[in-house]
Structure 1
Amino acid sequence: MNYSDSAKRELINKAKNSVINFNDAEATNVAMETIRSGIDPVDIIEEGFIEGMKTVGDGFESGKLSLMDILTASKTMNKGISLLKPAAISTHEDSCFFGNLMLSL
């Protein structure tokens, strides 16, 4: 099944918001929907989960969020990414992961 750009954008936004809102269940749901849809998991990781962490980091820098918020958001992000890693690796066989860092060869 090939999803439209709007469906992809919706998954990216849900991934980002799951991290911002510390919603582990939503991060898991986004990851599973990404796998079912055939959307490139790297796009969801980079444009969704990572961007969500950047937003949380900005909140920390501005003093609006605490270190505990950073740790909680990181846990949420890792829930989604851990489910997407196998799909990302199989989609991008010329890439490898080191923790949450993906390198393309």
Structure 2
Amino acid sequence: MIVRHRPCRSPHRWRRSLRLSADDRRSLKRVLQRRRAAISPVTRGFPPWLPGPGRRGEGLGQEQTDELLARARGTYNRLENGRLAHPGADLLTAVAQVLGLDEHECGPSSGG
């Protein structure tokens, strides 16, 4: 006999992911871009970058951030650009740690 297990439909699923409004996503993008721009790739073990094609801003690149987060390529890009509408709390916590965000920057009024 084959027993098939159904996925658990936990009523506490909301604790694992957060729903962000469009305004929250825009605020989050501004905070993440500022923090990423303030971090030198060299301080995180990456070689210094040289200005050139494909590179628009200062600081840590999005792909470098994915590497530091140990996430699939493009995960951080989707978060920063608001295309990850339900980021998991574990991802947000890891991003806060990698970018060195403090409680003030992580709070609801961080849009700044």
Q: TM-score, normalized by length of structure 2?
A: 0.29
Q: Which has the higher helix share?
A: 1
Q: TM-score, normalized by length of structure 1?
A: 0.30
Larger Rg: 2
Larger RCO of the pair (alpha carbons < 8 Å, separation 6+): 2
Q: Which has the higher strand share?
A: 1
